[in-house]
Structure 1
Amino acid sequence: MSGTRTLVIALAAGSLWSFAAPAQETTTYTLEKTDDGYVRMNNKTGEMSICQEKAGQLICKLAAEERTAYEEDIADLKTRVTKLEETVAGMGKIPPVVRDALPSDEEFEKGLSYMEKFMRRFMGIAKEFDNDNSGTKPEQPTPQKT
C-alpha cells in the first residue's frame, strides 16, 4: 500500500512540477525517487515508467496500460503490413472486375474492323475532296521577296 501511496504522491508532485517548469525545458525525462525505486516521467508525452536499481543500473518498465497500448499498436502494424504484402503480391494479377470488363478476342476484332472501315471511308472522302478542289483552285502568285 505504501508503494501505491508513494507512486500517487510522486505522480502528483511530477504533475505540479511540470506546470512550474519553464517552457524551454530541454530534458526529456524526470526521475523521482520513491521507497521502491524511481518513477520516470517523459516530459514531452507524460508517459510514466516504474524504475528499479539493479546491479548498479536503472531498469525501467512501462506501466501496465502503456504496455497494453504498445502491444496493441504492434498488432495493428502487423495486420497492416500483412494487408500491404497481400496487395503488393496481387498487383501482378488482373483483378476479376477488370478482367471481366475486357472484350473477348472476337469482340476486339469486330471493333477493330469497324475502325478500319471508318478510316478507309474517311481517307477516301478526304482524297475526293482534295481532287475536287485541285482543279478549281486558282493559282496564287508567289510573293515577291525583296
Structure 2
Amino acid sequence: MFNRVIPAFAFCLLASGATAQDTQRYQLEKTDRGYVRLDLETGAMSICEDRQSQLVCRSAVEESAGEGSGRAAYRLRQLERRVEALEQASAGKTLNSSEEEFEEGLDRMEGFFRRFMGIAREFERENPEPMPNRT
C-alpha cells in the first residue's frame, strides 16, 4: 500500500506545481463586461465573459479585428497607391540617372589616374636614378 501512496502523492505535487505555474502565467483584470486576461509570457490579451458559470475567452485581436479591419484595409489601399505612383515616377529616371552616375564615376576615375600619373612623373624628376630590382 505504501508503494501506491508515494507515486500518487508525487503526482499530486507535480500537478499542483503545473497549476501554480499556469496561474502565474496569466493575469485577470475585471472590466464592465467581464475580464481581460493577459498572458505574461507572450503578451497576448484575451477578453473573457462569464457564460453559464464558465469563463469563455476570445483573443483581443479577434475582438478588435471587426472594428479596425475597414480602416486598416483603407490605409493599405492608400499605401499601395502611393507605392505604385512612386514606382511609375521613378521608372523613367532610373535609366537616365544610372547613366549619369556611370559617367560621373568615369570622370572621377579619369581625374584620379591623371593626378596619380602627375605624382609619378614628379617623383621620376626628383629621383632620376632607377630603383633597385628587389625581386
TM-score (norm 2): 0.37
Mark the structure with the bigger radius of gyration.
1
The structure in which a higher percent of residues are helix is: 2
TM-score (norm 1): 0.35
